[in-house]
Structure 1
Amino acid sequence: METPMTEVISAVIDGAIISAGEAPVSIINPANDSLIVDLPEAGADTVDRAVQAARRSFDEGVWRTMPVDKRQAVLRRCADAIESNADELAGIESANTGIPFSQLRNRSVLRAADNFRFFADYIGQSVGELYEQNPDYLTMVRREPVGVAALISPWNSPIALGSMKIASSIAFGNSCVLKPSEQAPLGISKLATLMTGAGVPDGVVNLINGRGATTGDQLVRHPDIDVVTFTGGTHTGRLIMKAAGENLKPATVELGGKSANIIFDDADFDQAVDGALLGIFTNNGQQCLAGSRILVQRGIAARFIEAFIARAKAIRVGDPLDAATELGPLVSQRHLQHVMSFVPDANLAGHRILTGGHRAPGFDKGCYFEPTVVQVDSNDSRICQEEIFGPFAALMIFDTDEEAYALANASRFGLVSYVWSQNIGRIMEAQERIAAGIVWCNTPMMRELRAPFGGYKESGVGSDGGKACEAFYTRQKTVTIPRRPIILRKLGV
């Protein structure tokens, strides 16, 4: 399969593609280090144009006042457009990120279509509130769109996570300005161009490309932005929360993770091995919800480690456009160096490299790194405490359930956790004891869009999901009406 060509998109404003801009951002194919395209950065004037287009479309009200059934139809056409262009979108994103084409085509792109269909369904069932307890008054609570949303999406799953932000923000009648990560903007930029053809009115969805410290900062600080949402690293999340807070803009941030994957001795062994492999090695290990700390109970540890390492060594590393590839290159040379910086720690006392720890052999170019597993004796290790964000797992052995919970919670992060056991009592105890926003029991990653998705501690503030997004992207308005004519006190008579 050939790497697809892509348009030069600095911005999409009012449905029109803008190709001119300022200092270019070079987009590199991590499979072979070749230049895909130089994207001119959207400067301050372009950011302002995008925000003003969104503000104008919101104030004019073509989208926010559109009847719900018609808005639903547009959202469903967006889903159809994604599916109709699934091969192209997956190909662009694979060339940009290094994620295997098959994973993108069969999971991420379909998930993007599902995001639009879910929120189309959700707004058809959304209801207000009515309070009738006071005999003289009726009080109703309505929800109205907040206005213009700034959406900042990540590089590790641009189409799946970027589409979640777009679909959830516009479903409730808002307009938006999306800034993809400068490392992987191509797939989501293509998606933005498809939405006009699906019937989204001009100005409702706008996009700007550029660096976070310039274009992103200008977007967050723009006075006509009403709310901000960000998915990415914890350091950047702090800066965005601070900038938004200075201007009293509500913000949600979904940040890093160092998730514990607890394998109890009564787990379904084969399922636990499969799940642990998927938890750390899918998406090239570059996911905030990766099960990167694998905690195995001593009674099954030797057997589990043997099976897990044998399978990890057999993972097919290769060209992401090859259908047989299971693990592609990391997103950039810079990120490859970050992941490799943890290898020296793996050679310290109390650490044992069980497999990997090197650039993948057989590749003259690209950002390929072997599936890597390090057994550690202490959860205090840097390998256990910092987010590596690659195919790099830390494995620890525990004895008691109490020890497992203590290890799982001994982290500054609290995004997700995994628990494997066939004892329902143990499962129920574990989900209560683990300090994480999501606990997956006897399953790898499963996203229920009706439920909130968000983390504890340094993993973020706020959540995605049906009700959570409705609460964030709408404002409550209380309206009180007398049931009958009322007699008022007469002042000054």
Structure 2
Amino acid sequence: MSFDLPIQPPERITGLVNGTASLGGGIDLPVFYPATGAQIATLTEDDETAVARAVEAARAAFDKGPWPGLSTAKRIEALEACRETILANVDELARLECAATGLVLKELRARHMVRAAYNFRFFAEYISQSAGQSYTQTEGYLTTVTREPVGVAALIAPWNAPVALATMKIAAALAFGNTAVLKPSEQTPMALARLVELLQEVLPEGVLNIVNGRGAVTGAALVAHPGVDLVSFTGGTETGRAIMSSAGRNLVPCTMELGGKSANIIFASADQDRALDGALQGIFSNNGQQCLAGSRVLVERKVFDDFVGRFRERAAKVRVGDPLADDTEVGPLASLAHMNRVLGFVDKAREDGGQLLVGGTRREDLGEGYFISPTAVLAHSNADRCAQDEIFGPFATFIPFDTADEAVAIANDTAFGLVSYVWSDHLPTVMATTPSLRSGVVWVNTPMMRELRAPFGGYKTSGVGREGGASCEAFYTEEKTTTIPTAPPALRRFGA
């Protein structure tokens, strides 16, 4: 079976520095369409020299350009112009994103691109309400606290939702007066390359630049560059460790949104129909490739068999196929290597004493693309690899529990701590459970949602720092305390 391309992509994708295509200097990297496995574009990797040019452009724009000193009103205008640019190009950006990621096109149009545009609106609204602080409690003095931009931000975006997640970083960094160098994943560079090109028309020169390439080459050069003042990364935990180690040598602060192995706790007191819908959405949306997926489904034993049976029945009916089709619910995984890794956990589950419940195979009837059947396994215990390792695909692991305390213990028994889900219509159960969950976010009786005013990030190896309104303000600004005497103070006259 063959599927049409969502869009004819550019033959070659390059970085963009001061509005001009980067010379790269590195090797050529292939970009594939996950629905067919065919190469559709070539990416020019930016080497250390090319990265240095991008950082120097951002440095010059920060040190000598107008952006950091713009009035709040002017910066709001620019952020709103970025938003309008995205909304005017939703279809093109969504199709480019689909071509590199294999995500379902209708979801990209309706959710990802709308969220990307809203990221700029949100931070425009946020800075419109920002205020400084002043203190007069110490007699004879006025002390003010103001916030100033930090400098050049290195923004490293993931491959699973490139535009939606990268624009959170871009909008925040720019809103507070920083300049930026963006590095997308080498697997999914096309939509972000086009977005940065479009935004050149509404931003001053050098404020936003983009470099492309592998993390070990381009990303490493970017993080280590002495002209970078802060780093924001979303991606895998091991890569996050390497980035923090490198940035730490220059004492550069970092925020890290890393991996997850989130527990989706289903109590018998939950509305079972809604909990079932939420569990399916929590693991199969975005092709299952999201750090906040409810990948460990913990179900109270008294309803376990019924819930799992209904889940299996529904999972077997999930429509897998062409990401351009309106009725497709799950598209292909992002790459051949990733597909093989996800499927490899079926054998690991069996080796650990688990049982395959549904799926677990490649959809060879759909051609050479990276399609798999939505998958679920019954774990032998929470110590199984499928219950501890982040699989990052449409792959759920089921575990029964008997008491709320046991559910919390299982949920917390992981190296990760990004998100937890709790499903119960019994308020005392909810109130007793949520404070004990070791995760940065808890969602009750709802699948994933994002309140941008609230902090988002994880405990343990799921991250360092937070994203969100006040959290981003704290990260992307420096606090300055200025003290002025209200009358000439008495001075000690040394040596008089």
The answer, yes or no, to whether TM exceeds 0.5 is yes
Distance 1:61 1:431 in 2: 48
Q: Is the 8 A contact 2:23 2:50 kept in 1?
A: no
Whether the 8 Å contact between 1:9 and 1:17 is mirrored in structure 2 is no
Residue 337 of structure 1: how far off its partner (Å): 1.1
Identify which of 422, 426, 432 aligns with 2:425.
Answer: 422
What residue number does 1:143 align with? 147
The aligned counterpart of 2:470 is: 467
Q: Which amino acid aligns with 1:159?
A: V
SS of the counterpart of 2:67?
coil
Aligned residue number for residue 243 of structure 2:
240
The residue that corresponds to 1:16 in the other structure is 20
Partner of 1:414, secondary structure, is: coil
Instruction: Tell me the SS of whatever aligns to 2:188.
Output: coil
Spell out the pairing of 1:59-458 with structure 2 (5 A cutoff): 59-197=63-201, 199-348=202-351, 350-458=353-461
Give, as a single letter, the amino acid of the residue that structure 1 aligns with 2:263.
Answer: A
Kindly provide the amino acid, as one letter, of the partner of residue 265 in structure 1. Answer: A
Matched-pair contact (CA < 8 Å) for 1:10–1:21: no
Contact persistence 1:237–1:253 (CA under 8 A) = yes
Give the SS at the match of 1:458: helix
Q: How far did 1:350 drift?
A: 3.5
Cα distance in 1, alignment partners of residues 369 and 13 from structure 2: 25
- For residues 366 and 357 of structure 1, the distance between their equivalents in structure 2, rounded to whole angstroms, comes to 16
| Partners of 1:9 and 1:19 within 8 A in 2 | no
Distance 1:492 1:346 in 2: 80
Local SS of the residue matching 1:390: coil
Displacement after TM superposition at 1:18 (Å)? 3.1
Q: In structure 2, what residue type is equivalent to 1:101?
A: L
State how far apart, in whole Å, the 2-side matches of 1:17 and 1:268 are.
54
Work out the CA distance in 2 between the residues paired with 1:21 and 1:109.
32
In structure 2, the gaps of 5 or more residues are none
User: Which range is displaced more, 464-473 or 19-28?
Assistant: 19-28
Deviation of the 1:9 alpha carbon: 2.8
Q: Secondary structure at the match of 2:342?
A: helix
Cα–Cα, structure 1 residues 2 and 30, in superposed 2: closer, same or farther, change >3 Å?
closer
SS at match of 2:471: helix
SS of 1:140's equivalent in the other structure is: strand
Q: What is the identity, as a one-letter code, of the residue corresponding to 1:285?
A: G
Contact 1:95 1:320 in 2 (8 A): no
| Cα distance in 1 for residues equivalent to 2:429 and 2:17 | 53
Given that residues 5 and 99 in structure 2 are in contact (C-alpha distance below 8 angstroms), is that contact kept between their aligned partners in structure 1?
no
Q: Separation in 2 of the partners of 1:19 and 1:355?
A: 48
Give the TM-score, by structure 2 length.
0.98
Distance 1:276 1:125, change over 3 A: same
Match of 1:53 in 2: 57
How far did 1:20 drift? 5.1
Q: Distance in 1 between matches of 2:380 and 2:425?
A: 27
* Alpha-carbon contact 1:284-1:391 (below 8 Å) kept: yes
In 1, the alpha carbon distance for the partners of 2:441 and 2:45 equals 36
CA-to-partner distance for each residue in 1:411-467, whole Å, 9 max, x for gaps? 000000100001122112211010000000000011000000000001010110001
> CA separation in 1, counterparts of 2:241 and 2:407?
30
Partner of 1:44: 48
Deviates more, 1:5-14 or 1:160-169: 5-14
SS at match of 1:138: strand
Matches of 2:81 and 2:431 in 1, distance apart? Answer: 41
Letter in 1 for 2:89: N
- CA offsets 1:270-313 (integer angstroms, 9 cap, x no match): 11001000000001100000000000011211221121111101
Instruction: Work out the CA distance in 2 between the residues paired with 1:436 and 1:222.
Output: 33
Q: Is the 8 A contact 1:10 1:19 kept in 2?
A: yes
Give the distance between the partners of 1:110 and 1:314, measured in 2 at CA: 28
Q: Which residue of 1 aligns with 2:491?
A: 488
Amino acid in structure 2 at the alignment position of 1:35: Q
CA contact (8 A) 1:58 1:147 kept: yes
Deviation at 1:349, TM superposition (A): 5.9
Cα offset for 1:214? 0.5
| Partner secondary structure for residue 381 of structure 2 | coil
Q: Is the 8 A contact 1:262 1:419 kept in 2?
A: yes
Superposition CA RMSD, Å: 1.1
1:394 deviates by: 0.3
